[in-house]
A and B are shown apart, each in its own frame.
Chain A
Amino acid sequence: MSLPAVEKVALGAICALGLLVLFLDLPASRVPHRAEVLPPTRAALATAEADARAALARAEREAAAKAEGERLAAVQNPGETEDILPVGHGREEVFARCTACHSTAIIRRSGFSRERWDELMDWMTEKQGMAPLEGEVRTLVVDYLAEHFPPRRNPRNANPFLN
């Protein structure tokens, strides 16, 4: 089976073109990237430098924030244990429930009647999101607080020159 001459020529031309395309696409024959040979432009350098500076600044900020967070956490966590409160029936429950949110400083510096302590439990639940305290546990907690932290003369009014 033979092709007409014109088709042979056409086929030859297509093959030649294909070879040329292949030849031109060989890696070694590709036009080299200018960037690989020429130094980076001033703008590119500036961008790269700015990126590096921003990354460094960000890393510094993150490190500073982390260090500061650790310092603040240390101050906010006095590492209290139950024995910071006076010995008594109910101490364990009071310590566990109250220190879920706050340190004992505010307890130890407060002094209320049993009625006021009892009201405070409702306030903590309604305003501060404490789990409701009911029944025997509530009695235990309020009795302990009322016994050990009753109303008293305010320490800040104490005379600095007397015992």
Chain B
Amino acid sequence: MAREYPLRELYAQDPERADALAFGRRGALKGTALAAMGAALGATIPFASRMPQGLLPAALAQPAGGTPTLRMEGKAALILLGERPLVAETPEAMLDDDVTPADKFFIRNNGQIPERFAGDPKTWRIRIDGEVNTPLDLTLGDLESRFEVVTLRLQMECGGNGRAAFTPETRGNQWGNGAISNGEWTGVRLRDVIRAAGPKDTARFTGHYGADPHLSGDTSRPAISRGMPIAKAMEDTTLIAFRLNGQPIPQLHGFPVRLITPGWPGSLSQKWLNRIVLRATPHDGPGMGGTSYRVPVKPIVPGSSSNGADFVDIASMPVRGLLTNLAHGSRLAAGTRRLDLRGQAWAGDKTVRAVHVSTDFGASWTEMRVNEPPNRHSWQRWQGTLELPSDGYFELWTRATDSDGRMQPHAAANWNPQGYAANAMARTAILVG
């Protein structure tokens, strides 16, 4: 019954495109006829019976709860996972750039997007307090003038990236592998700012606050407020950032100032940052404790219930690789035998030692070449060539191995109620001929 919804949504958003995609025709229906078609695709007409014979476009091959496309000025056609809160995933084939352009950044909000700060951006204020000798109240102007400004390519990945691979499905946005970015961030080191505030011996954890309002509109609750051990905060790649790819950070992505905590769950990269508190105990804001951004130490039965009391906070994200020059669902010309492949791979705090690709479901593997990262916590480019034995249906499985020798598993491991840290290898289906 729910199968009609994706197409109905598509008709509602862009009827001409929906008609072209679903029935391979363009301009056959106009105006009210198109609207009538959209309405007809309601709950009573089976979607499948309306479809043409033969192959389906990949965009419509998704049954119940399929994913419409984000249509928004300044953003690429991302996979729209939800409007409120606004959440959108970058298709894997859109992650081919070494430096992710702002329009291709995935979108993850926990609350409402705040109104853009209309004052002079240099007057935006950030407070550093808690377990420090000298609490600081700094403007963005102060940050830029008082501390060394650095520019680095840094991964930022949602803690739930890869969640859709869990069986049974878990709570949360059903991300494929595209909740990852590798922007060129400019900012100051959080370490330098914490040192300027004179951390006490008791300063062992951070807590972060931003300006985004809670979804309910309740102004007494932060939308999300997470924190990390001081060691991660003091890494030289953890930044208070104010430029992305040389430009002011887009409003959607945290203008004018955000944290960038590369290699750890993206929720630690607080957007619209306005306060960091140093704490003696782990932070207790929304998004901390229980089953939030936490995984079992002792694996639990998939689908079972847990309050997460004996789980641990996710620190470094696990190793993952993506094929980025061939889209899932690509159809190649008959006779195609040689495939030039390339993609990106990363491993949280570690680096990627190897990437292998298989065309036979893992029975055999071909090693790709992997570049060194341009700086710590950047993803790494990989590339190589494969030979196909024939025409037909293939799945290209991409498997990365981290610097400790740990590989991506075939299936998402360590099931947890909110579906974090899944890193099953990526599967790209292609059809030759």
Contacts and interface: CB of A to CB of B under 8 A. Distances in A.
B328 interface: yes
A76 B167 CA distance: 30
Contact of A106 (B51, B113, B168, B173): B173
Interface of A: 57-58, 61-62, 64-65, 68-69, 71-72, 75-78, 84, 86-87, 100-103, 105-106, 108-113, 115-116, 119-120, 123, 127-130, 148, 151-152, 154-163
A98 to B, nearest CB: 11
B84 A77 contact: yes
A76 B276 CA distance: 28
A128 B251 CA distance: 24
Q: Give the 3 A-B residue pairs with the shortest CB-CB distance, closest first.
A: A65-B116, A160-B329, A156-B164
A151 B302 CA distance: 13
B169 A151 contact: yes
B335 interface: no
A161 B84 contact: no
A50 B419 CA distance: 54
A98 B81 CA distance: 16
Contacts of A65: 115-118
Q: Which range contains the number of B residues in contact with the other chain?
A: 35 or more
B314 interface: no
Contacts of B118: 58, 61-62, 64-65
16 contacts: A58-B118, A58-B120, A75-B70, A75-B86, A87-B43, A100-B216, A102-B82, A103-B84, A110-B171, A115-B305, A129-B214, A130-B216, A152-B169, A156-B165, A162-B56, A162-B61
A105 B216 contact: no
Nearest to B72: A75
B55 A105 contact: no
Contacts of A58: 118-120
Contacts of B56: 160-163
B431 A102 contact: no
B433 interface: no
A128 B218 CA distance: 10
A127 B329 contact: no
Contacts of B361: none
Given A86-B43, A111-B169, A161-B393, A155 B82 contact: no
Most chain A Cβ neighbours within 10 Å, of B58, B118, B164: B118
B63 interface: yes
Looking at chain B's contact residues, is the secondary structure mostly helix, strand, loop, or mixed?
loop
Contacts of B328: 160
Given A105-B83, A156-B164, A68 B62 contact: no
A154 B164 contact: yes
Contacts of B116: 64-65, 68-69
Contact of B64 (A87, A113, A155): A155
A124 to B, nearest CB: 10
B290 interface: yes
A110 B221 CA distance: 26
B24 interface: no
B83 A103 contact: yes
Contacts of A157: 164-165
Given A129-B214, A155-B64, A119 B305 contact: yes
Given A102-B84, A155-B64, A160 B292 contact: no
A62 to B, nearest CB: 4
B33 interface: no
B294 to A, nearest CB: 13
Given A72-B113, A100-B216, A161-B429, A78 B65 contact: no
Interface string B293-328: 000000000010100000000000000000000001
Contacts of B48: 163
B158 to A, nearest CB: 15
